[in-house]
Amino acid sequence: MKILNIETSCDESAISIVEFKDEYWAGESFKQIDILGDSLNSQAELHAEFGGVYPNLAKREHSKNLVPILTHALLQADMLLRAPKPSVEKEKLDKIKEILQREPELYAKLLIFFAQYEKPPIDAISVVVGPGLAPALWVGVNFARALAFAWNLSAVKANHMEGHFYSAQFKNPLNFEKEEYLLETIDYPAIALLLSGGHTEIVLANESLKYKKFGETLDDAVGEAYDKVARLLELGYPGGPEISKLSDEFEKSNKEKDERIKLPRPKMRDEDLNFSFSGLKTAVLRLVQDLQKEGNLNDDIKSQIAYEFELAVQDVVLSKLSKAFEQNPSVKTLIFAGGVSANRRLRDALGDFAKEHSLKYLLPTKELTGDNALMSALASANRLQILREKAFSDPDNLQADSSWEIDEL
């Protein structure tokens, strides 16, 4: 089966085309997938001036970029087929216009696309409907509805966090010379630490598609804390890579850390598995204000703060993870995914943890830690293989659901 996948939940517009076959199935999840096309446009630079994602700008950019990305992904997949005459009947265009009434630029570009190209040989459309930023999600959802209607295809709803969960199967570097992609298999039960800009969750999966969230942040997500602390230190956006660069530099320098640079480990000793990162951010704010008053906020001190911040995050994350494993000793796999799983220190620390506890450790190749349309493609593929017809939704009823939790699937 060949599916086209759309992701617009935050500030990445992405479309992939993947194929999966019965013989690639490994009992609980796929062990191979064929990546026919994969195109992505990141808006990170545009949002940088706001120090975070600005929803209406994200919406506008998705509307502008989806058709070019679709064209690019289809070209890679050898599915961009010139049409001798417009490929979508005139009678259908009124309804498509209505579906895309809030995205006029997207509609205009899609009309030109339909005038030039045939329906591609795909079997279904999958789209991320949540969680994420509502205005951004709606663009992808409406685009999926328009394409499904134009091409008479069924639709599959993908959950963004389930996408991150499955992204951990992509452990090898992507290689577009060769479209077959070998995937790691997940041995269940699995525990997943899903850390991103919008979410911080510990999730238990006893079997495929069955999730229980038993820890989450009560306020800021880890990635959000990284971004906010980066702003306090006047670093760029996204903050994660900037902070970890400074922190690594300080660690490598082998210098002594100034004893005033100390940050709290919020909720680390609490028995529950929830997190809180807003206090950590506030502690950085106070520290920065004090140092500024003294005129001591220089680059060296900033890298010390970045280092201490990373240690604080690592301590809290490891402590909660240990508790999660104490409560679930039969777990076989540790998954680490979400944008923050690009973090070198956490990748290593969780790797050590997995080794100590003899766990299979799965985390995405660095290119796929951030949002992309391959992870949700794999989530939809796994869902289709297990649930068959039940995985489909009527495209007319597709809706964005900005707070769709992974344990509500």
Q: What is the contact surface with Zn ion in residues (CB under 5 A)?
A: 196, 371
239 binds, among Zn ion, ligand KG4, none (CB under 5 to 8 A by kind): ligand KG4
13 binds, among ligand KG4, Zn ion, none (CB under 5 to 8 A by kind): none
Is the CB of 308 or the CB of 371 nearer to Zn ion?
371
Q: What is the CA radius of gyration of the chain?
A: 22
Report the 3 state secondary structure along 33-45: EEEEEEEEEECHH
Among 10, 321, 350, 363, binds ligand KG4 (CB under 6 A): 10
Cα separation, 357 vs 321, in Å, equals 11
| Residue 399 contacts residue 163 (beta carbons within 8 Å) | no
For residue 147, give the nearest of 83, 193, 87 by alpha carbon.
Answer: 87
For residue 336, give the nearest of 346, 327, 326 by alpha carbon.
Answer: 346
Is the CB of 291 or the CB of 313 nearer to ligand KG4?
313
Among 163, 223, 364, 395, binds ligand KG4 (CB under 6 A): 223
Q: Does 52 bind ligand KG4 (CB under 6 A)?
A: no
Structure tokens at 336: 């680490």
| Residue 199 contacts residue 340 (beta carbons within 8 Å) | no
Q: Which residue is nearest to Zn ion (CB)?
A: 196
- Which pairing describes strands 32-42 and 180-182: parallel, antiparallel, or unpaired? antiparallel
Among 68, 241, 279, 351, binds ligand KG4 (CB under 6 A): 241
Among 28, 162, 220, 227, binds ligand KG4 (CB under 6 A): 227
Is 277 in a helix, a strand, or coil? coil
Q: Does 165 bind ligand KG4 (CB under 6 A)?
A: no
Q: Which residues 6+ apart lie within 8 Å of 108 measured at CB?
A: none
Is the CB of 137 or the CB of 384 nearer to ligand KG4?
137
**Numbers of helices and strands, H then E, in the chain:** 12, 12
Is the CB of 231 or the CB of 257 nearer to ligand KG4?
231
Q: How many CB atoms lie within 10 A of CB 71?
A: 17
Q: Which residues of 232-260 are buried (b: 16+ CB within 10 A; e: fewer)?
A: bbebebbbbbbbbebbbebbeeeeebeee
Q: Does 55 bind ligand KG4 (CB under 6 A)?
A: no
The residue type at 70 = L
140 binds, among Zn ion, ligand KG4, none (CB under 5 to 8 A by kind): none
Q: Does 370 bind ligand KG4 (CB under 6 A)?
A: yes
Among 343, 376, 385, 393, binds ligand KG4 (CB under 6 A): 343
Is the CB of 132 or the CB of 215 nearer to ligand KG4?
132
Cα separation, 120 vs 222, in Å, equals 40
Q: Does 198 bind ligand KG4 (CB under 6 A)?
A: yes
Nearest distance in Å: CB 240, ligand KG4: 2
Is the CB of 241 or the CB of 279 nearer to ligand KG4?
241
- The enclosing H or E element of 130 equals strand 124-130
Among 55, 130, 197, 395, binds ligand KG4 (CB under 6 A): 197
Nearest distance in Å: CB 29, ligand KG4: 20
Q: Does 201 bind ligand KG4 (CB under 6 A)?
A: no
226 binds, among Zn ion, ligand KG4, none (CB under 5 to 8 A by kind): ligand KG4
Structure tokens at 25: 């199935």
| Residue 29 contacts residue 362 (beta carbons within 8 Å) | no
Q: Does 130 bind ligand KG4 (CB under 6 A)?
A: no
Q: Which phi and psi angles does 364 have, rounded to 5°? A: -65, 150
Nearest distance in Å: CB 341, ligand KG4: 8
Nearest distance in Å: CB 384, ligand KG4: 23
Q: Does 163 bind ligand KG4 (CB under 6 A)?
A: no
- Residue in the block written with tokens 């991103």: 196
Q: Does 236 bind ligand KG4 (CB under 6 A)?
A: no
Count the residues of the shown chain that bind ligand KG4, applying the rule CB under 6 A. Answer: 20
Nearest distance in Å: CB 385, ligand KG4: 25
- Residue in the block written with tokens 């997949």: 77
| Residue 319 contacts residue 271 (beta carbons within 8 Å) | no
Residues that bind ligand KG4 (CB under 6 A): 10, 196-198, 223-224, 226-227, 238-241, 244, 338-340, 342-343, 370-371
